[in-house]
A and B are shown apart, each in its own frame.
Chain A
Amino acid sequence: MELTPTARPFRPRARRWLRRAGFWLSVVVIVSPAILVFLWMLSLSLKNEIDNIAYPPVFIPDPPTFANFVQVFEQNNIGRYFWNSIVVSGGATLIALLVGIPAGFGIARTGAKRLTVLILIARMTPALSYLIPLYAVFQFLHLNNTLTALVVTHLVITVPIVVYIMAGHFETLPKELEEAALIDGGSVWTTFRYIALPLARPGIVVGAILAFIFSWNNFIFGAVLSNRETRTLPVAVYNVLTFEQLAWGPLAAAAIIVTLPVLFLTIFIQKEIVAGMTQGSVKGG
């Protein structure tokens, strides 16, 4: 009984300390797989081939080498495939913005909500149900293996996401300004062009970035519709580096080159990712 007065102030403190340690342990456990896979990717890309297949594995590159990055650019033409990806994803995103921004505006102002259901169904359709018919059509038009065919196919990804994001965004804009402009004799087009469009800039940025990322990450469309010259980056990384040579260093370097632009773009849209990932997008597969 005499111990209680001294034990009492000690016990809660110890318990609090234990609890805090437990909490931080769980933070480490839940976050480390995410970071470790990326670090391992980086480690593989900065080591020579002997260290990469050593057992037990070498974790820290010593000394780090950029030879793998040099190799993928010089021998594997990664620069060209990078450019193909920019053209395909950039082109598909631009066209999507061109038709998707006005569509989002129209849907928001007419309340044509049924059209967003169409987008949801598109989200659920397997990618191959687009790929097979478009492949047949491009075969007929002699467009297979061209970047044009890839840009058109990537519209399947970019248009729904831009329309979805823009419709949501225009809905949140105050309508009073537009009403006032219309009463002053402005046309629907001029209110769109000079009032709604400038206000919608943040939404456009989010829509464009999400569309670009989803298009960039897509593999299956490029895998079917492109050849050696017109491959997009993910397809090139898979084909060139796994079939024609099995070296881990260059493979990891190429994987980093594909992923880095996407991770960089993600920084700008942290908060909007959920809406984009859950509803608007037709993801690969």
Chain B
Amino acid sequence: MSTAAVARVRTGFLVRRRRRYTLFIVPALVVVGAVIVFPWLFTLWMSAFDWKIGTVAHFVGFENYTKLVTNQRFIESVVHTFYFTLLAVVAPLILGTIAALIFHREFPFRGVLRGVFVMPMMATPVAVALVWTMMFHPQQGVLNYLLSLVGLPPSLWVYSPQLAIPSLVLVEVWHWTPLVMLIVLGGLAVLPVEPYESARLDGASEWQLFRYITLPLVAPFLVVAAVIRTIDALKTFDTIYVITGGGPGTASETINLYLYLQAFAFYNIGNASAVVVVFFVIVLALALVLLHVREKTRWS
């Protein structure tokens, strides 16, 4: 057989085979269609109706959306969400980077200590939230005792309207700093050595090495960590629901908490669906950043 003939047989073969490979994807597509894509479309559709479970749905067009613009409680929940997200992204990013720089060095027991450091990330959020609830307790909580040890006055933590969100962020920081650390550590592991050698020869200080070489080189990883953290922080539910339930009053009510109440306390499915769509658009705006960044950094 000539090489051309072999090639022809091979292409026919490949096309036929490609079709058979596609069959492998079908069952998963059916499942994804049923539990993921169908709910998306259903939500979009329901957002145009005034519907409470158990009543007849009325088509209202964009009314659910226009009502949101003047809904004071919803607007406040958006503000709370952004405030919470900003803190819950910036703090883990800074601490996670510092932790990554530490764990990038060689030292005894590094593996074990890294394993311990990463533990919070995998722990069940509800369990963690309950433990923090006990630690936040103003009278018997261990946190106020620790404050008293260093001579600070006791705090109301999540029971104070002003401190509720920062206190919740504290839990979030404890929970998710390890994820940022692992992402940045992955970035540090692939750094080239040459720039450091030449910079050292030129007499650069440790700080200069970090500021002008390490930081720019791990920047793509920091961006990825920032975007992932942003998405997760926007969507935080368990911690807030368990620790404050959105309170005191509505001081820590984020979009997700408001959404939950609308859907499963008041059964306002139409209104809740519109909130979901708006919420999704907010997250998607950041999702596009993620896809863009991923393409640019070729990181996976």
A283 x B119 contact (CB < 8 A) = no
- The answer to whether A130 touches B29 (Cβ under 8 A) is no
Check if B21 is an interface residue, CB within 8 A of chain A: yes
Given contacts A102-B28, A155-B31, A274-B182, contact A127 B235 (CB under 8 A): yes
Task: Verify if A251 is at the interface (C-beta below 8 Å from B).
Answer: yes
Distance between Cα atoms of A117 and B276 in the complex (Å): 20
User: Inside 8 A of B86's CB, which chain A residues have their CB?
Assistant: none
Is A278 in contact with B123, judged by CB distance below 8 angstroms? no
Within 8 A of A (CB), among B190-242: 224, 228, 231-232, 235-238, 241-242
- Does B127 make an interface contact (CB < 8 A)? yes
Q: What 0/1 readout, one digit per residue, does chain B (90-129) give for beta carbons within 8 Å of chain A? A: 0000010011001001010000010111111111111110
Asked if B25 and A31 sit within 8 Å, CB to CB, the answer is no
Shortest distance between the CB of A137 and any CB in chain B (Å): 8
Specify which of B13, B98, B116, B260 lies most central, judged by the most chain A CB atoms within 10 Å of its CB.
Answer: B260
Inter-chain contact B263/A131, CB cutoff 8 Å: yes
**Pair B113/A27 contact, Cβ less than 8 Å:** yes
**Closest residue of chain A to B272, judged by CB?**
A132
Contact between chains at B123 and A263 (CB < 8 Å): yes
Q: Does A86 have its Cβ within 8 Å of any Cβ on chain B?
A: no
Q: Is B35 an interface residue (CB 8 A)?
A: yes
By the criterion CB–CB under 8 Å, are B183 and A274 in contact? yes
Q: Tell whether A37 is near chain B: CB-to-CB under 8 Å.
A: yes
Contact: A129 with B39, CB < 8 Å?
A: yes
- Tell me, in angstroms, the Cα distance from A252 to B142 when the chains sit together: 14
List of B residues within 8 angstroms of A237 by Cβ: 126-127, 130
CB <8 Å contact, A252 and B140 = no
Residues of A within 8 A of B260 (CB): 128, 220
Asked whether any CB of chain A lies closer than 8 Å to the CB of B147, the reply is no
Binds A, one of B65-73, B161-169, B280-288: B280-288
> Mask for A51-92, Cβ within 8 A of B = 1, else 0?
011111100000000000000000000000000000000000
Main secondary structure on B side of the interface with A: helix
- Of A35, A56, A124, most B-chain CB atoms within 10 Å: A124
What is the chain A residue whose CB lies nearest that of B111? A270
Once bound together, how far apart are the Cα atoms of A182 and B17, in whole Å? 9
Size range of the chain A interface in the assembly? 35 or more
A134 touches B116 (CB 8 A): no
Name which residue of chain A comes closest to B38, CB basis.
A133
Which of chain B's residues have a CB closer than 8 A to the CB of A41? 127, 131
Question: For residue B122, which residue of chain A has the nearest CB?
Answer: A266
Is B287 a contact of A121 with CB atoms below 8 Å?
yes
Instruction: Give A192's nearest chain B residue, CB to CB.
Output: B24
Q: A34-B119, A224-B264 are in contact. Are A53 and B140 (CB under 8 A)?
A: yes
10 nearest A-B pairs in the assembled complex, by CB-CB distance: A106-B24, A285-B237, A103-B28, A133-B42, A255-B127, A133-B39, A106-B25, A102-B24, A99-B27, A234-B126
CB-based nearest A residue for B286: A124
> Across the interface, do A99 and B116 meet the contact criterion of CB distance under 8 Å?
no
B236 and A285 form a contact (CB under 8 A): yes
For B2, list chain A residues within 8 Å (CB).
Answer: none
Of A53, A55, A107, A168, the most chain B CB neighbours within 10 A belong to A55
Closest B residue, CB atoms, query A43: B142
Interface residues of B, Cβ cutoff 8 Å to A: 13, 17-18, 20-25, 27-32, 35-36, 38-40, 42-43, 46, 53, 95, 98-99, 102, 105, 107, 113, 115-128, 130-132, 134-135, 139-140, 142, 145, 174, 178-179, 182-183, 186, 224, 228, 231-232, 235-238, 241-242, 256, 259-260, 263-264, 269, 272-273, 276-277, 279-280, 283-284, 286-287, 290-291, 300
Q: A132-B269, A155-B31 are in contact. Are A258 and B36 (CB under 8 A)?
A: no
* A161 contact set on B, CB distance < 8 A: none
Q: Mark A105-136, 1 if CB is under 8 A from B, else 0.
A: 11101101001011011111111111111111
Contacts of B116 in A (CB 8 A): 31, 34-35
A23 cross-chain contacts in B, Cβ below 8 A? 102, 105, 107
Contact B21 A109 (CB under 8 A): yes
Looking at A95, A112, A219, which has the most chain B CB atoms within 10 Å of its CB? Answer: A219
13 A-B residue pairs with CB within 8 Å: A31-B116, A52-B140, A103-B25, A118-B32, A120-B290, A124-B290, A128-B256, A129-B276, A130-B35, A159-B36, A237-B130, A259-B123, A266-B119
B22 and A106: CB pair below 8 A?
A: yes
Cβ–Cβ contact A106 & B280, under 8 A: no
B25 with A136: CB separation less than 8 A? no
Contact B29 A126 (CB under 8 A): no
